[in-house]
Amino acid sequence: MKKSSITIAVIGLALLPPVACTQAPNVASTIAATLTGEVTLIPSNSDQRVKDASRVVVWLSSPDLPHLARAAAEKQQHFRVVQHNKRFEPSLLVVPIGSTVDFPNLDPWFHNVFSLYQGKRFDLGLYQAGAQKSIRFDQPGPSYLFCNIHPEMTGVILAVGSEFFATSDKAGHYSIAGIPPGKYMLHVWYESATAETLQALERLVVVDSGNPPFTAISIPVTKPMHSEHKNKYGEKYDPDSVKTVY
């Protein structure tokens, strides 16, 4: 399999009007900034860009502003991953740690959503059309989603300790808005990269009125995780049941 690489460059910081800060009592006011950037996917044996540079997640964390992570967890935010046409929609969802995700079944047949590999491990069991179940994602990292009935259904929910995150679009663009001034660690996640590679990509970013330089980052791309997954019992899917119409 051909290996590829990803180059990530920060384009700049755009300043927004001053806003009142109510999250930290020792800070009277802040100037929110928007961090914009571009992701480039380049195969290792070519200098040509891959057309679809989506599904790369970028987020900021700050040890100097711990109240931001606490505030994100305390909001108890709700998100949705819909089961529709034997697909998870969206197939990639980023949420702050502590968020609750609803899993409504909009198909006319049963589903059984589970995640047993990383992140939040759970099994929603078998539930019928029109039903909905929910899970609180209180564990950081990616939770890979599967259906015990339909092997073609795959997805991932990435829980991060921050409200400042973005996912790249097909053109490779991303934008993180509303960032208070301070020092942040920039994190990157991509499904086809190892944990060791992603950890090595972490960089310090200073958000202020300037435009800090940023070094381009390359991510070696490996085989997508769980591309040939088993069911929740650790067994291969029954080929006869896969052929059914439900």
pLDDT confidence tier of residue 4, bands split at 50, 70 and 90 = very low
Which residues contact residue 18 at a Cβ distance below 8 angstroms, ignoring those fewer than 6 apart?
Answer: 29, 30, 31
* Per-residue pLDDT at 22 exceeds 70: no
Predicted pLDDT of residue 9:
45
Which has more pLDDT, 33 or 89?
89
Predicted pLDDT of residue 21:
36
| 74-159 maps to CATH 2.40.30.10 | no
Predicted pLDDT of residue 10:
44
- Residue with the two structure tokens 């949420």: 95
* Per-residue pLDDT at 156 exceeds 80: yes
Annotation: CATH topology of 4-69+162-218: Immunoglobulin-like (2.60.40)
pLDDT confidence tier of residue 128, bands split at 50, 70 and 90 = very high
Mode of pairing for the β-strands spanning 141-147 and 111-115: antiparallel
- Interatomic CA distance for residues 140 and 232, integer angstroms: 21
Q: Which of 4-13, 45-54, 97-106, 181-190 bottoms out in mean pLDDT, i.e. has the lowest?
A: 4-13
Domains 4-69+162-218 and 74-159 are alike in CATH topology? yes
pLDDT confidence tier of residue 19, bands split at 50, 70 and 90 = very low
* Per-residue pLDDT at 112 exceeds 90: yes
Side-chain-facing half-sphere of 32: CA atoms under 13 Å: 13
CB neighbourhood size of 200 (10 A):
11
Mode of pairing for the β-strands spanning 122-127 and 111-115: antiparallel
Tokens of 57: 């997640």
Instruction: Domain ranges for the chain, please list them.
Output: 4-69+162-218, 74-159
- What are 64-82's pLDDT values in tens digits? 666 666 665 566 689 999 9
Sign of CA pseudo-dihedral 195, 139, 63, 32: positive
Closest by CA to 92, choosing from 3, 183, 191, 21, is 191
Task: For 196, list phi and psi in degrees, rounded to 5.
Answer: -65, -40
pLDDT confidence tier of residue 16, bands split at 50, 70 and 90 = very low
Closest by CA to 189, choosing from 94, 58, 11, is 58
**How much of the chain, in percent, has pLDDT values that exceed 70?**
67
For the ranges 44-48, 94-98, 177-181, 240-244, the one whose mean pLDDT is highest: 94-98
- What are 131-146's pLDDT values in tens digits? 999 999 999 999 999 9
95 beta partners? 159
